[in-house]
Chain A
Amino acid sequence: MAQLTFVGKPIPKKDAPGKVAGEAAYIQDLKVPGMLYGRILYSAYPHAKIVRLDTTKAEKLPGVKAVLTGSTIPPFKFGVYKDNPPLKTGKVCSLRDEIAAVAAVSPEVAQDALGLIEVEYEELPALFDPIEAMKEGALLIHEEHKTNVLKMPWKLIVGDLDAAKKEAAHIVEDTFRTQWVTHCCLGASGCIASFDINNNLTMYSNTQIPYLAQKDFMEALGTFGLKNKKVRIIQSVIGGGFGSKLDTYAYEYLAILLALKTRKPVKILFSREEEFFATSPRQCTITKISHGCTKEGKLLFREMEMILDNGAYTSWGATTPSVMMLPISSLYKVPNVKYTAKCVYTNNTYSQAMRGYGNPQATFAIECSLDQLAEKAGIDPYEFRFMNANEPGETTPQNFKITSCGVKECMEAVKTRLGWTGKRMQKEGRGFGMAALVHVGGGARVYKSDGCGTIIKIDDYGKVDVFTGSSEIGQGSETIVAQIVAEVLGVPIDDINVINNDTDVCPWDVGVHASRTTFVAGNSALGAAQKLREQILDLAAATLNEDPSALDLKGSVIFSKNDKEKKIALGKILRSAHYAPGGKMLVAEYFYDPPNENFDKEFKGNLSVAYAYGAHGVEVEVDKETGQVKIIKYVAAHDVGKAINPMLLEGQIYGGGVMGLGYALSENMVYQNGKIMNPNFLDYKLLTAKDIPPIEAVIIETDEKNGPFGAKGIGEPGLVPTAPAIANAIYDAVGVRIKDLPITPEKVLKALKEKEKR
């Protein structure tokens, strides 16, 4: 590859100066003239009939401009399964059920008005445990649905499981559980809905899916009597996403309805407590898993049955089994697979995808169980993984076409850096553990299109505006896109301006999910930049009397590769084209939709055009008196294809890794009877700067042929294998296996005591 100027370099984030200066405007910071403030009244019971709802007093409070209840708004349901009305009528199914909404001149007045709304409930028995909810004769959360099990039969069958079980020399079987955890974006959810005189809607929003949200809102407007109205989404700077903003939510529809009713812009902003209890977290799971291998350690089969707590309504959380299938069918060569997953309605909060999209839950079970199998077969868990791992060029049983695959290199890097060999099982209380991962790295066709558009225009002076569909949520997409365009157009990175937050001017994109932005938006930007480059070189070729193929473009100068004297400044060429008779200004456009496949009815198909791999390893020290787990060293190796920006890439690995450590060790939404008991940062334990262990990020480059400059995705993988790596290390250290997350000192102590008794 030719010498690269911008790609592969640790270029500082383009949006960082505004953020460090305090200039960046988040949804918290936005006001529009005449704006009212909306607040939401939530249910007081997890499951109850609404017997009486009286808003008279609230309506009379000075400063209140509108009060809405379920019976005063058009009937309408939203969400992946269309099971969720923005305001509930008749009955409530969880403590986050919205039952009324108020718009007032200030947030304080709106809050006071909520206190004046009178509600009488008739409490109903409730279900908080998915296993109870699945039982025959269990009460129904949604009567019309006839069952509490969602009609989404996730099922993957490959090969002949029964035959494989007979053939296996070693078999292990166990059950693993994961907990509810939440995204904890530092910038909470919020929006401003505003109608113009023609009833076109502008939403100021921190969504991760501007174009799907636009579609959702257009459909909603249709049912609100505003068919064919235009919806414009303007994204504020976004204070973190991690999947929390992958869907549209009741608060957004309520802001729209309140704005419509009052003819004023309405802002709804979540408090931290609301962010904890009224957003959709990563669900808890129960996984029964069994694995078998030959005498030599060749993996023969994997069987998994999973139960997911869906909560009372349905968002993308219910579709996470699709991504769970990645490590289930791939990562290791496993010829026989059976996987089923059931998502079950309960009276808990409803679940959403969160960084990793189900992969962390599945990988926890798989990678812990594999260690158990390796032990049973008497093989070092590293060797066991290495011999079974995926390889480049493979087609996996789920029909994934593996192109680049650096999982073995990642495992080796972890082994070397931890000094694995000979150190395992040596010292009581010290242990080593490892876990690997696979994730989509080249888009993921979960929607009809997995595309992203880019438009590039260049002005008279060679300054470039890039309009991309991809959103910046902190991950760095703006900078990655700018680096790619700067590289192709040979202009300084500071001359690239990226516009990425307005559906009126930016082309379509499916959203920030599936670690797809570098790959998909990157390829899109690359395509548009190449088209623009061709136009520029064609213009210059005529002026310089050279063939375009003999020209190159660097430092905003076009020059002949054959004759150094033949050159012209970029701006000059652009101006001469602009001001020539019949003038021309250059614009290029490109829409990239990766050639990946939706799953077929059997959940098979090449979901992504590239797969990201990685391996994490950890050395721990376990205090047998207190159960405390101390991480001595943590190594996270990732196959990223090519690091477009190593600094931002490390940021994703560290950030993901630490989020994974929280998942493994401390984070837990404690629910009691459907109520979250720790909806604050004091009791919900995020790691702080003092808690982080030494982490080494290792970047493995495998040059993915389909990726922009060889790159694959990295947004999510960083947290996927953390929990099992730690659980495996604890087992190595003290011989107890913790099978439910988070791994608290209490659980370790309890397990140690039980082990002593045995």
Chain B
Amino acid sequence: MKREMMFKLNGEAVNVEVESAWTLLYLLREILELTGTKLGCGYGECGACTVIMDGQAVNACLVPVLEAEGKNVTTIEGLVQPDGQLHPLQRTFIDHGAVQCGFCTPGMIMSAKALLDENQSPTDEEIKESIAGNLCRCTGYVKIIEAVKAASGR
């Protein structure tokens, strides 16, 4: 069944007609055409679809779309400033070689951002914990962890 839904997406109020069976990921990718958030599995096991909802990193593929109603959702596209300036995490991912094929990258960055928003000087263990739900087949995680560390206050 279709119905109207309001939520805040990357700082802007969005009013959109949704079907209750949709996931938040479907709304983002297929309807709003924000394809930076990736679909890697569709069932909560790879983290490629990670977005931040009210401060929490969530797997958008598991979030029923109506759960986002009234919430504040940030996607990878929302990290880029209007003047094109990248978020510090985006910069450190580039500079530390944390990106290979890049399919996991948006989700990784969103998970790391949720961590750093809460905790500016995380330990290595805390960094690993925060991205433990994000699979990467290319990098072996080493440089991803370095990049998150570099973006933190440590």
Listed in ascending order, the chain A residues whose CB lies under 8 Å from chain B are 10, 12-13, 15-26, 28-29, 183-188, 237-242, 271-272, 473-476, 647-648, 650-651, 654-659, 680-682, 686-690, 692, 695
A652 to B89, CA, bound (A): 22
In the complex with contacts A186-B104, A655-B139, A689-B134, A21-B76 CB distance below 8 A? yes
Decide: A681 and B46 in contact? CB cutoff 8 A. yes
Decide: B97 and A647 in contact? CB cutoff 8 A. yes
Decide: A690 and B99 in contact? CB cutoff 8 A. no
Decide: A474 and B138 in contact? CB cutoff 8 A. yes
Q: Specify which chain A residues have a CB less than 8 angstroms from the CB of B105 in the assembled complex.
A: 19-20
> Please, could you name 19 A-B residue pairs with CB atoms under 8 Å apart, sorted by A?
A16-B94, A16-B102, A17-B86, A17-B90, A19-B105, A20-B90, A21-B86, A22-B36, A184-B137, A186-B46, A186-B104, A188-B40, A238-B101, A239-B38, A240-B137, A474-B101, A654-B142, A681-B135, A687-B141
Which residue of B34, B102, B134, B139 is within 8 Å of A651 (Cβ)? B139
Q: Specify which chain A residues have a CB less than 8 angstroms from the CB of B134 in the assembled complex.
A: 688-689
A657 to B86, CA, bound (A): 31
B41 within 8 A of A: yes
Greatest chain A CB density within 10 A among B96, B99, B105, B137 is at B137
In the complex with contacts A13-B97, A238-B101, A186-B136 CB distance below 8 A? yes
Q: Specify which chain B residues have a CB less than 8 angstroms from the CB of A184 in the assembled complex.
A: 135, 137
Decide: A690 and B132 in contact? CB cutoff 8 A. yes
Decide: B100 and A476 in contact? CB cutoff 8 A. yes
Decide: A474 and B100 in contact? CB cutoff 8 A. yes
Q: Specify which chain A residues have a CB less than 8 angstroms from the CB of B102 in the assembled complex.
A: 15-16, 18-20, 24, 237, 239, 474
A183 to B141, CA, bound (A): 17
A686 to B47, CA, bound (A): 13
Which residue of B48, B75, B94, B135 is within 8 Å of A688 (Cβ)? B135
In the complex with contacts A186-B137, A650-B143, A475-B100 CB distance below 8 A? yes
Q: Specify which chain B residues have a CB less than 8 angstroms from the CB of A692 in the assembled complex.
A: 140-142
Decide: B101 and A651 in contact? CB cutoff 8 A. no
Decide: A651 and B97 in contact? CB cutoff 8 A. yes
Q: Specify which chain B residues have a CB less than 8 angstroms from the CB of A29 in the assembled complex.
A: 29, 35
A592–chain B nearest beta-carbon distance, Å = 25
**Shortest beta-carbon contacts, A-B, top 8:** A22-B36, A474-B101, A19-B102, A658-B140, A654-B140, A239-B103, A22-B76, A681-B45
A645–chain B nearest beta-carbon distance, Å = 9
Q: Specify which chain A residues have a CB less than 8 angstroms from the CB of B86 in the assembled complex.
A: 17, 20-21
Which residue of A240, A687, A689 is within 8 Å of B103 (Cβ)? A240
Query: Known pairs A28-B38, A29-B35. 15 more at Cβ < 8 A?
Result: A16-B94, A20-B76, A20-B99, A22-B75, A23-B36, A26-B38, A186-B104, A240-B137, A241-B101, A651-B139, A655-B137, A659-B140, A681-B45, A689-B128, A695-B142
Decide: A186 and B43 in contact? CB cutoff 8 A. no
A19 to B105, CA, bound (A): 7
Q: Specify which chain B residues have a CB less than 8 angstroms from the CB of A655 in the assembled complex.
A: 100, 137-140
A24 to B103, CA, bound (A): 9
B67 within 8 A of A: no
Decide: B135 and A686 in contact? CB cutoff 8 A. yes
Decide: A272 and B41 in contact? CB cutoff 8 A. yes
In the complex with contacts A22-B35, A22-B106, A185-B101 CB distance below 8 A? yes
Q: Specify which chain A residues have a CB less than 8 angstroms from the CB of B122 in the assembled complex.
A: none
Decide: A686 and B139 in contact? CB cutoff 8 A. no
Decide: B97 and A271 in contact? CB cutoff 8 A. no
Q: Find the A residue at minimum CB distance from B142.
A: A654
Which residues of B37-84 are within 8 A (CB) of A? 37-43, 45-46, 48, 75-77, 79-80
Decide: B42 and A272 in contact? CB cutoff 8 A. yes
B27 within 8 A of A: no
Which residue of A22, A24, A28, A185 is within 8 Å of B137 (Cβ)? A185
Q: Specify which chain A residues have a CB less than 8 angstroms from the CB of B90 in the assembled complex.
A: 17, 20-21
Q: Find the B residue at minimum CB distance from A656.
A: B140
B129 within 8 A of A: yes
Decide: A21 and B77 in contact? CB cutoff 8 A. yes
Decide: A25 and B43 in contact? CB cutoff 8 A. no
Q: Specify which chain A residues have a CB less than 8 angstroms from the CB of B143 in the assembled complex.
A: 647, 650-651, 654
A501–chain B nearest beta-carbon distance, Å = 14
Q: Specify which chain B residues have a CB less than 8 angstroms from the CB of A188 in the assembled complex.
A: 40
A33 to B101, CA, bound (A): 27
Decide: A187 and B101 in contact? CB cutoff 8 A. yes
A680 to B133, CA, bound (A): 14
A655–chain B nearest beta-carbon distance, Å = 4
Greatest chain B CB density within 10 A among A16, A20, A21 is at A20
Decide: B95 and A12 in contact? CB cutoff 8 A. yes
Q: B81-119: contact bitstring with A at CB < 8 Å (1 yes, 0 no)? A: 000001000100111110111111110010000000000
Decide: A12 and B94 in contact? CB cutoff 8 A. yes
Greatest chain B CB density within 10 A among A13, A16, A689, A692 is at A689
Decide: B103 and A26 in contact? CB cutoff 8 A. yes
In the complex with contacts A186-B103, A186-B104, A681-B97 CB distance below 8 A? no
Q: Find the A residue at minimum CB distance from B42.
A: A272
Q: Specify which chain A residues have a CB less than 8 angstroms from the CB of B142 in the assembled complex.
A: 650, 654, 658, 692, 695
Which residue of B35, B45, B97 is within 8 Å of A682 (Cβ)? B45
Q: Specify which chain B residues have a CB less than 8 angstroms from the CB of A28 in the assembled complex.
A: 35, 38-39
Q: Find the A residue at minimum CB distance from B147.
A: A20
Decide: B109 and A240 in contact? CB cutoff 8 A. no
A64 to B89, CA, bound (A): 45
B144 within 8 A of A: yes
Decide: B97 and A12 in contact? CB cutoff 8 A. yes
Greatest chain A CB density within 10 A among B34, B101, B109 is at B101
A692 to B124, CA, bound (A): 12
B145 within 8 A of A: yes
Greatest chain A CB density within 10 A among B35, B46, B48 is at B35
B131 within 8 A of A: yes
Q: Find the A residue at minimum CB distance from B136.
A: A186
Q: Specify which chain B residues have a CB less than 8 angstroms from the CB of A657 in the assembled complex.
A: 140
A271 to B105, CA, bound (A): 20
Q: Specify which chain A residues have a CB less than 8 angstroms from the CB of B77 in the assembled complex.
A: 21-22
B23–chain A nearest beta-carbon distance, Å = 13
Q: Find the A residue at minimum CB distance from B125.
A: A690
Decide: A240 and B140 in contact? CB cutoff 8 A. no
A658 to B46, CA, bound (A): 17
Q: Specify which chain B residues have a CB less than 8 angstroms from the CB of A185 in the assembled complex.
A: 101, 103, 137
A640–chain B nearest beta-carbon distance, Å = 15
Decide: B97 and A10 in contact? CB cutoff 8 A. yes
A28 to B106, CA, bound (A): 14
A483–chain B nearest beta-carbon distance, Å = 14
Q: Specify which chain B residues have a CB less than 8 angstroms from the CB of A17 in the assembled complex.
A: 86, 90, 94
Q: Specify which chain A residues have a CB less than 8 angstroms from the CB of B101 in the assembled complex.
A: 185-187, 237-241, 473-474
A476 to B143, CA, bound (A): 15
A396 to B101, CA, bound (A): 36
A473 to B35, CA, bound (A): 19
A648 to B94, CA, bound (A): 11
Q: Specify which chain B residues have a CB less than 8 angstroms from the CB of A183 in the assembled complex.
A: 137
Q: Find the B residue at minimum CB distance from A647.
A: B97
Which residue of A21, A24, A681, A695 is within 8 Å of B140 (Cβ)? A695
Q: Specify which chain A residues have a CB less than 8 angstroms from the CB of B96 in the assembled complex.
A: 647
Decide: B141 and A658 in contact? CB cutoff 8 A. yes
Decide: B100 and A21 in contact? CB cutoff 8 A. no
A274–chain B nearest beta-carbon distance, Å = 11
B99–chain A nearest beta-carbon distance, Å = 4
